[in-house]
Each structure stands twice: as structure tokens, then as C-alpha cells.
Amino acid sequence: MNALSGIRIVDAHHHFWDPVANYYPWLCDAGRPPHRYGDHAAICRPYLPADYLRDTAAFELAGSVYVEAEWDPRDPIGEMRYIEGLRRQSGWPTVAVAQAWLDQPDVERTLEQVSAFAFVRGIRHKPRANSSPSDARSGGMTDSDWRRGYALLANHGLHFELQTPWWHLHEAEQLARDFPATSIIINHTGMPSDRSDEGMTGWRRAMQGVAQCPNVFVKISGIGQAGGRWSLDLNRPVVRDTIGMFGTDRCMFASNYPVDSLCASFEDIFLGFATMVSDVSREDKRRLFCDNALRLYRMDAAT
């Protein structure tokens, strides 16, 4: 652990779940939808704070961000009540990102309820996306109902967590410009799943565009590849290019655990990140591994 000696980490994106006690369609249903990493049967089991603390034991954990886990969409408030209970029992997570369906007629009531939890900082609703960059149809971020819901976030002090393929990031760029008071945090590094030259060129172009918006930030996470183990060589260009485009003030490292346990141990991921940025200053390391997440998720205000 020499690469991170004396540097605390904040894990800016992880999940807890118990598919035995609670309903998550993608974990519980017999006809589970395919996952971008392939077969995800291995994670369709409880993953709770005790499991997480075991996986992170080699690190000095300064905080963590729970991100909604596609809990039963009929009951988004129930997920935050569940997380509230976990926090009382274990002290984890530090803060959370809730589920809210921005295009639903009751979205304002949902935002009122989730923002009443003192530890909730933002919401995630994965907008409708096309299956490939060759499909030029507009995605969900252009939908008028969706945008009306998005416009309410600032009123409730909530930011937006965006998980979408990179070929829809031009829509995020427009969203960021239209609603400058709302921060967008891009999940999973803009999802560069295709590592071919063509795929990486498209991803870089899309990320460069949205990086021009000062209210957009990025979590470097979720960069595993289907059917293989987490790769330092394959992932290094993604990590370094992202930091080059967004700067060390707007990037955060995150595990996406337990999802990324399908392709790597927690130590492999975070020590891999440390290896990739071994040449940056100690101050920049602190920003990437800890301070940016503490600031953006207002962790000093979590109760």
C-alpha cells in the first residue's frame, strides 16, 4: 500500500443491497436483464456494510457514497429508509444518492421526500439511451417531461448523477449549459466500453465536449470489461485521459462495489488507480482519492 501511504480515500460510488429482504428487479427477477460485465449471478446476494468494511480493510476510509441500486421503482423512498437504517446500525454510508424518476408526474413529491433525508445529496435516473453510437436518435435527456423534472433539482439542493453511454454526452453538455445551477456528476467515466481505436476516439470527443462545462464532474469508476479481469494496461489511458480533460479538481475515484467485484478486488482497483497516478503531486492525489468527494458530496454536513 506504499502508493497510498498516508492518504485517506473516499469511495465515491458503491452500493449495499439485500435481495433476500428487498426487491431489486435486476437482482431478484428470474429473467434478469444482461449486465454490461456479462453474467452477474455472483452478486445477486446480500452485500452489506460488514462485507464492505471487510473489502476496504486495507485502506483508511474517510467516507463513502451510496448510489441507488435500482431498488423497486414503485418505492424510491423505501430505499432511503433502508439506507437510513444501515447508517444507524453501522455508520455507513456517509452520504447517499437516491432514486427519482424525473419524467413521472409525482417527481416533485419524490424529490421533496428524498431531500428530507439529511444524508441525501443527489438523485440518479438513468435516461433512455440508444444501443450504439450509430443510432442518432435523441436520448432521454431531451425529453420535455424529463427536463421538467430535472429543472426541479436545484430547488431541493440536489445534484444529478448521470449514467449514460458516451454517445449521449452531448445531451448532457446541453443540459449542463441550460441548468448551470445544477451540478452533474458523470458515473463510470462516461462508460468507455468499446476500447477499439474508433470507440476510444468517440469517447474522448464526447468527454472533451462535456468537460467544457464547469458544473460537470466525473467519477473514475466502472471501467471493467466484460469477460476479463480489471486491467492496468487497458484502463490506464481511460484514467489518464479523463484526468487530463477534467483536471484533478473535478475527478474522483470510486469502486462501484460490489458490481466491480465481478472483475476485480477492491485492492486491485484502488491500488491500480494509485499506480496510474503515481507521478502526480501529493496534493493532487489527495484531491482525486479524497478531498474532491468530501467537498462535492458535502460530507462535513452529513448527520
Please list the residues that pair with 161 across neighbouring strands: 124, 185
What distance in Å separates the CA atoms of residue 160 and residue 186, rounded to the nearest whole number? 9
Check residue 68 and give its pLDDT.
98
Q: What is the pTM of this model?
A: 0.97
Check residue 127 and give its pLDDT.
97
What distance in Å separates the CA atoms of residue 51 and residue 71, rounded to the nearest whole number? 19
Q: Where are the domains of the chain?
A: 2-301
Check residue 196 and give its pLDDT.
96
Check residue 4 and give its pLDDT.
83
Q: Which grid coordinates belong to 192?
A: 468507455
- Residue in this structure with the C-alpha cell 433539482, named with its chain if needed: 153
- Report which of 207, 152, 210, 139 is spatially closest to residue 181, judged by C-alpha positions: 152
Check residue 6 and give its pLDDT.
87
Check residue 303 and give its pLDDT.
61
Cβ-based neighbours of 185, under 8 Å, separated by 6 or more: 122, 159, 160, 161, 162, 216, 217, 218, 219, 296
Q: Is 137 exposed, middle or buried (0-12, 13-18, 19+ CB in 10 A)?
A: exposed
**Percent over 90 (pLDDT), the chain:** 92
> Could you read off the pLDDT of 40-69 as tens digits, one per residue?
999 999 999 999 999 999 999 999 999 999
Residue by residue, pLDDT tens for the chain (303 residues) are 457 878 999 999 999 999 999 999 999 998 887 888 989 999 999 999 999 999 999 999 999 999 999 999 999 999 999 999 999 999 999 999 999 999 999 999 999 999 999 999 999 999 999 999 999 999 999 999 999 999 999 999 999 999 999 999 999 999 999 999 999 999 999 999 999 999 999 999 999 999 999 999 999 999 999 888 999 999 999 999 999 999 999 999 999 999 999 999 999 999 999 999 999 999 999 999 999 999 999 998 766
Check residue 91 and give its pLDDT.
98
Q: Are 203 and 164 in contact (CB under 8 A)?
A: no
Domain 2-301, CATH homologous superfamily name and number: Metal-dependent hydrolases (3.20.20.140)
